[in-house]
Amino acid sequence: MESLARALQTLVSFLPPDLSAHYLLALTGPVLESIGMTAGAMLIAYMVSLPLGLYVGLRGPGSRFIGFVLSGVRAIPDLTLAILCVIFVGIGPAAGMIAMAIFYTAAVAKIFGDLFKTADAAPLDAIRATGASPVQVALFLIPLKLNDILSYGSYEFESAVRASVIVGAVGGGGLGAELVGTLNGFDFQRTTTLLLVLIGIVAAVDALTVRLRQRPVWLLLLVPPSLYALWVFQPEQFSLLHAVHTIGAMFPPSLDSDAIARLPALIAETCAMALFGTVLGGIIAFPLALMSARTIAPPWVALPVRRFLEALRAVPETVWGLVLVAIAGIGPEAGTIALGLHSAGSLGRLFAESFENVDPAPVLAVAATGARPVAVVAYATLPLASAPIGVHTLFRLEWNLRQATVVGMIGAGGIGQALFEAQQLFFYQAMVAYLLITWVMVLAVDQLSQMTRARAGWITLPAEEIR
């Protein structure tokens, strides 16, 4: 009871947020830094991932190996990449931007490749029959999947905005550095302000991307500011000798006997956080998705529930973890709840879209029998949406395993905490060992997820590889 009282007392101290004009004006710099990091990183990611995705989608020679490499890079948590970049180029937005560029190049290229593979084969066979070159076939393929590319690309940009806070928390600057500063200084009212600012930024980016998908030519207007961000946030220092020395100190990866003895428990704790976080998120998301589906719930119910889901999703797992650790203390419980809260926002949105996208004919047929709305949902909508819901849940479990490592780095336990401690103590060989173990775990879950989807017949791509 005493610990619960302390947690509630800490929770109360987050209110009210500091909305003073002086503080909001002071946040202009961190906000622009985070947006600049995102814009520069995603410009690199899009420019590299589109040709890579086309090559993989057209199944060029070596495309399977490229796909494997992309999956491998994508399995490295963005926070881990940020820590490595800080080691090489120093503290500042350059490290965050480089880490995000690496991560999202792999993530977007992997998704684009999968999208291009799903293109109708008949038009491609027809253009090949005319003797078109591979470049001409690729240029023909882009319009076929343009809507999907714009949709996924905008989702990833929104995701990168949240990631900019994560990488900023370990030395990348921007809102992440400001957030860590308020938590370390027990200035929790300003922490709440930063969360509200982040939610507002994500909502604004979401609204902007909707407009850009409607008018793709407007994307060209974003290129100059993105190039400017690349120039402003270029690395100010980089020592090749230092980088070579540091990389040399990372190999061969090794763990001492005590670390090896603790390894099974750390892996189990990480997997448990991912599993129970996904389950918690699904339990919260399912009823909220029904309430936010525009084909099921009236607008006066669906709209506020959608805004609530967006707020949950706008705050990254790591930020939820930082706040929960401050409230309830370190441990896997904070990590599990953090994963659950963000998963609820992401899965709630995707479950709702799955309900809305079902074939209307069977739904109308059941409704025509005079069945009540609850029966129509139970006997028509839910069975038709079960496959995409299963796909989204499996993708979320895969993502949460990666994020369980990340939230572990901020005090939530598991292998992530061991990795972070090794990095902080400059035990680089142990750090790389933990990183490789995490990488293998994520790839294993990825393969298991693909096998499960194939056996269940869930071969559709998710509407978003949710972040």
CA proximity to 435, closest of 448, 421, 416: 416
- Residue 462 is predicted with a pLDDT of 45
Q: Rounded CA gap, 274 and 166, in Å?
A: 18
* Residue range 328-360, pLDDT digits in tens: 777 788 889 999 999 999 899 888 888 887 778
The token duo for 258 is 């005590």
The token duo for 245 is 């020395």
- Residue 456 is predicted with a pLDDT of 61
Domains 19-249 and 253-467 share a fold: yes
With 50 as the cut, is the pLDDT of residue 463 above it? Answer: no
The token duo for 135 is 């470049």
With 50 as the cut, is the pLDDT of residue 464 above it? Answer: no
- Residue 466 is predicted with a pLDDT of 45
* Amino acid at position 14, single letter: F
Continuous segment of H or E residues that includes residue 219: none
* Residue range 375-407, pLDDT digits in tens: 888 888 888 888 788 878 887 888 888 788 878
Pick the CATH number of 253-467 from 1.10.3720.10, 1.10.20.10, 3.30.420.40, 1.10.10.10: 1.10.3720.10
User: Is there a contact between 320 and 342 (Cβ–Cβ < 8 Å)?
Assistant: yes
* Residue range 201-235, pLDDT digits in tens: 888 887 887 777 777 778 788 889 899 988 988 88
- Residue 145 is predicted with a pLDDT of 79
DSSP string, 386-415: HHHHHHHHHHHHHHHHHHHHHHIIIII-HH
CA distances from 45 to 60, 68, 98, 105, 362 (A): 21, 18, 10, 4, 41
* Confidence bin at 104 (pLDDT 50/70/90): very high
- Number of Cβ atoms within 10 Å of the Cβ of 189: 17
Share of the chain above pLDDT 70, in %: 94
User: Is there a contact between 141 and 128 (Cβ–Cβ < 8 Å)?
Assistant: no
* Residue range 405-458, pLDDT digits in tens: 878 877 777 888 888 788 777 788 888 898 888 888 877 877 776 677 666 665
Region 228-251 average pLDDT: 79
* Confidence bin at 285 (pLDDT 50/70/90): very high
- Residue 458 is predicted with a pLDDT of 53
Continuous segment of H or E residues that includes residue 349: helix 332-356
* Residue range 117-170, pLDDT digits in tens: 877 777 877 888 888 788 888 888 888 777 778 777 877 888 888 888 878 877
DSSP state of 62: T
- Residue 3 is predicted with a pLDDT of 61
Question: How much is the CA Rg of the chain, to the nearest whole Å?
Answer: 23
Question: Which residues touch 20 (CB under 8 Å, ≥6 apart)?
Answer: none
- Residue 149 is predicted with a pLDDT of 82
Secondary structure class of 59 (helix, strand, coil): coil
- Number of Cβ atoms within 10 Å of the Cβ of 374: 9
The token duo for 371 is 């069945």
CATH architecture of 19-249: Orthogonal Bundle (1.10)
Residue with tokens 């991932």: 49
Residue with tokens 């190999």: 251
Q: Rounded CA gap, 101 and 400, in Å?
A: 21
Domain boundaries, the chain: 19-249, 253-467
With 80 as the cut, is the pLDDT of residue 259 above it? Answer: yes
DSSP string, 351-390: HHHHHHTS-HHHHHHHHHTT--HHHHIIIIIHHHHHHHHH
- Residue 134 is predicted with a pLDDT of 80
